[in-house]
Structure 1
């Protein structure tokens, strides 16, 4: 078994990103944010193993991230422990954020060893008894299994904890392994969605229209296609306001925010953009933007906005030219006395339809 210091050596951090971190990033699991699907799974793990604490823990090069977490309230009885409340156990299990250093806990060992770990009484193991979670959180028993995805990469663990010694036994060890295998269906679903997104971005890359994808209520730019970068400049990832102040000033940021908050597609017309491209044929261009909310497949929650631009400069110029021609024709017809007698070229008599 590997101790904490040697385990940390398998997480390269600044020295070079690991395949684990790349996988977590591609799956959208590289941040310690709340995920209801994983929270429900953690609750299930606690129920099956009859443990008071359960986690779905993803581990990158720098930290542990508890995307799934179950900690019962102080007033709730501990499963299988009649007459004893959570508060009766002494030190409160205080986990203010859903992340933890790699030096804390035992999941990094599971990831490094690629095998389950059962600690009935942590104090009986000198290698583990000095771990910070023992004194800081009062953890006395641990049971965890690795999450090995379809690329054979260990991306995290499913684990349960107790603040008193536990005889986990073979049955509970088998349970936690089955739970880890069951959770892979959720990972496969995310992998499938990632593949779909990659196909979508490949199609966007070849589109003749400028396309941008924002994420979250702050309108953070997640993606721009080459056409968008060519017309409006390379993407400086951040918000629309930061990356494209000309477009934000024209009202695009506000319209994107409206699409995000209302869940309805919005359109912004007549956006006049002054290009800075030295090879541009036109200095001023006019665009129309369609902003469509993007939703999470399973929940329907709006996650971002797809912004598609269309250059309508030529169309606008045609309309202007037709208007000018119509005005000129009307002026000349009026000057020639058209419509005042049979000698004139009346529009109705010749079948001429005046533009506008």
Structure 2
């Protein structure tokens, strides 16, 4: 986690140009998959920050701009350095009681790692308020979007 925090700390993630670029990528991924919500996140030790989004405008996720790490599906992506998929989060033993599911209404999730300077700093993910079986096409769209997000993040990376 130290490398993740060091790399995240070197990002100018408050820059409006960064947010606009990441919003565009998340919109494109959502359009490619037909799923309603898509995020680019940075995962730190106690919180997950939403740095780009599509489909969450007006929702609590948008207003909060993140979640506690205990609520974060993306934390599993960072921890395992691998894609993480939940077709029905309400039936998942780990996430069934997660407030993102019980209060926020999120039922399905798929996320892939964002690797910057060798550290997994976050995830590019799709969310839905319905149960969803994620396909190889969905995961390929996420992977393509993740590559684009990493390219953008490098533009806003200061000194590591």
Structure 1 partner of 2:124: 158
1:135 shift after superposition: 0.7
Structure 1 partner of 2:151: 185
Please say if 1:37 is aligned against 2:21: yes
Q: 2:95 aligns with which of 128, 139, 153?
A: 128
Which residues of 2 match residues 303-342 of structure 1 at below 5 A?
none
Distance, in Å, in 2 between the alignment partners of 1:155 and 1:166 is 26
Distance, in Å, in 2 between the alignment partners of 1:32 and 1:159 is 21
SS in 1 for 2:111: strand
Contact 2:26–2:145 (8 Å) recurs in 1: no
Which residues of 2 match residues 50-129 of structure 1 at below 5 A?
50-71=34-55, 93-95=59-61, 96-129=63-96
Write the deviation string for residues 140-194 of structure 1: whole angstroms up to 9, x where unpaired. Answer: 0001101011x21011110110001011112211221121122221122223xx2
- Aligned pair in 2 of structure 1 residues 172, 188: CA closer, same or farther (>3 Å)? same
Distance, in Å, in 1 between the alignment partners of 2:56 and 2:60 is 12
Write the deviation string for residues 322-348 of structure 1: whole angstroms up to 9, x where unpaired. Answer: xxxxxxxxxxxxxxxxxxxxxxxxxxx
1:72 shift after superposition: 5.9
Distance, in Å, in 2 between the alignment partners of 1:130 and 1:169 is 25
TM-score (norm 2): 0.88
Q: Give 5+ residue unaligned stretches, structure 1.
A: 1-10, 12-17, 75-92, 199-356
- Aligned pair in 2 of structure 1 residues 73, 148: CA closer, same or farther (>3 Å)? closer
- Aligned pair in 2 of structure 1 residues 166, 147: CA closer, same or farther (>3 Å)? same
Distance, in Å, in 2 between the alignment partners of 1:101 and 1:22 is 19
1:115 shift after superposition: 0.5
Q: 2:138 aligns with which of 165, 172, 175?
A: 172
SS in 2 for 1:128: coil
1:98 shift after superposition: 0.6
Q: 2:108 aligns with which of 112, 124, 141?
A: 141
Contact 2:112–2:142 (8 Å) recurs in 1: yes
SS in 2 for 1:178: helix
Distance, in Å, in 2 between the alignment partners of 1:136 and 1:43 is 24
Distance, in Å, in 1 between the alignment partners of 2:74 and 2:41 is 8
Larger of the two Rg values belongs to structure:
1
Distance, in Å, in 2 between the alignment partners of 1:24 and 1:72 is 23
Contact 1:57–1:64 (8 Å) recurs in 2: yes
Please say if 1:48 is aligned against 2:35: no
1:73 shift after superposition: 6.1
Contact 2:44–2:69 (8 Å) recurs in 1: no
Distance, in Å, in 2 between the alignment partners of 1:106 and 1:146 is 12
1:32 shift after superposition: 10
